[in-house]
Structure 1
Amino acid sequence: MNYDGGPQPRQVPDSRLVWRAAEHSDLDAWAALIARTAAVEQPVWFERRADLEQIMDSRNNPAAANTILGFDPQGIARAYGRITKNRDGDKAVGSGCVDPAWQGTGIGTALLGWLEQRTRDRFAEDAGDAGDVVPRPRLRLYMEQQHQHQAALFAGSGYGIVRYYNEMHRPLSEAVPHAVLDPGLELVTFGPALHEPVRLAHNAAFEDHWGSEPRDEEAWGFVVNDPQARPDLSGVVLDRSTGTVAGYQLATHDAEGALTRGFREGYTELLGVRREFRGRGIAQVLLADAMRRFAAAGMDVASLDVDSENPTGALALYVKMGYTAVNRSMAWDKEIEPATR
């Protein structure tokens, strides 16, 4: 296995495939694997080549150490896994897939073992070599409710559901709800000059959200440079007197996904309001503004995802604004024995 100097896993996930870390030359094969899997499993969203290019360029989670691809004897990519983790974070997040033609053969179980081992190693690496106590490693996995084969794998491997999320849609053929900003606030379009102020506002707004961790500049770069990002469909509310970002709505549009799903969707990737500005109708204004922007751009549906136990009452707000739940996803966690030093 070639890891370009990155950490070696303690064992090859499954000897039927040739395993190594993802390289730039693998982008087409990697994207093709994900597309083949998505064609069968029909997820709401899946990574495409442009997304994988971003992954390859990560400094905090370099692909050479945190990805793995499995190739069959003909050189076709059949499985992949990936770990991401913030250095001071309390969890790693795993993702991956197995080619439908290879599912049910034990490859998924073997790949999950690699994700757990890599999680164990990342926690040890991030604790440093100065005798720091290694926190108990935790691996988080996400799945859509429809993918019951994944649920069976996770449950059988010791994972438990820790959170539910609702995907919500709102037809844009309906009238946009009336919402007005306080006189001391103004709504502007998101742009480069607001990248850093909105990052800081996001970290502040999500301090009280379950599972959220601060986003550093690289992580925020994945948001603002997302191939599907639509700053023209995104709004920011500013305090007129100070210029402080009070709230924001950052949107994306998946043009390729519209072809398979049968409708054009304006998706609110992130919506947040700083705690000191809550209770002033800012979220309503941002959502109404998003609906108008989406409709003007020819979208059929406004959509978003929400934590079913969001402490800010977001779910009730979205229902009030006309959104209805159409799909559900889950987060699964497992605590893993730490690596020995």
Structure 2
Amino acid sequence: YAFYDQTGALVAPTLTGPVSTTIGPLSAATLYTPFFAEMPVGFQGSFLATVVSSGADAPVAAVSNNVNYDVVGDGTAAYNAFLAGALELEPTRFEAEPEFATNPVTDADGDPVSHTVTVTVFDQFGDPLPGVGVCVDVVSGPNAGAGDCGSTDANGQSAFTYWPNGTLGTDAIRVWVDLDADGVVDDGETDTLIKEWVLGEARVLDVEQTCESGSTETGDCTNTLATQHTITATLTDGAGNPVEGVQVLADITAGPNAGEAVVCTETGVDGVATCTYTDANASDGDTDTILVWADLDGLGDPDAEEPQAEVTKTWVAAVPLRVHAVSRA
């Protein structure tokens, strides 16, 4: 419903547009002007009531007119009420959220973190409108190609959820609401949202050893007594993205070199750190057990929540060099 002055212009309290009211079955609504404190003093004009929607078996029976509660000084006004025919609801605008969001590609358990775009469509009265076509598409970025179409639900909303492929970067997401239902993208029917995917919260540590043969192993490895041993540790976020700038530490927890110092580096841009130590105490066949961990909290101790791995190193005596002499006449 709306109030109009004698020139046909909207006036307060419906200055910017009509206001809607829901009337239940076998009910009535009284629009008593003293409730409208914004109405101008001495207002003369008209009141137009429009049936927005009603069931076939529950039409609006009547709208009274020429009502005049002429009480001096209480802000009332005389007006005429006209009943128009049922009005078809039309989508006029929409809102898409969030406009910008930043999320890690994985959670603390290493699982992908989803992103949801919610679109709400409104009719000409500013109320949520069901049954309107909506399409959401990732048009650029690491997850380009993801998308789907649907219709607004009873709350006037349509939601689209997708999961990242684990690659860091920024997705541009286009929202299209077919306001005129012509199947063509028109001006005013689209919006662009931004989604930034950053390093995941999970931390995964992969450890390899360099063996005497030059090969790398994830388990036990054999080296010659009194030589240097190298361990390579790679830290990722669970989606395979390298984690830079984390100190990796290692302790020899058992074996002939237990307690000896192990020198480790921070992870580089590739997420890789190295740890080295030289055998000082082993005999042929002795084995060291080495615990390697990413010191996420910087306290220098391997906490339960910090990614870690255990490897073993077996030390063997050098193979004697055999010389075969050949005499020549």
Q: TM-score range by the shorter chain?
A: under 0.3
Higher helix share: 1
* Structure possessing the higher radius of gyration over alpha carbons: 2
Higher relative contact order, structure no. (Cα contacts within 8 Å, ≥ 6 residues apart): 1
Higher strand share: 2
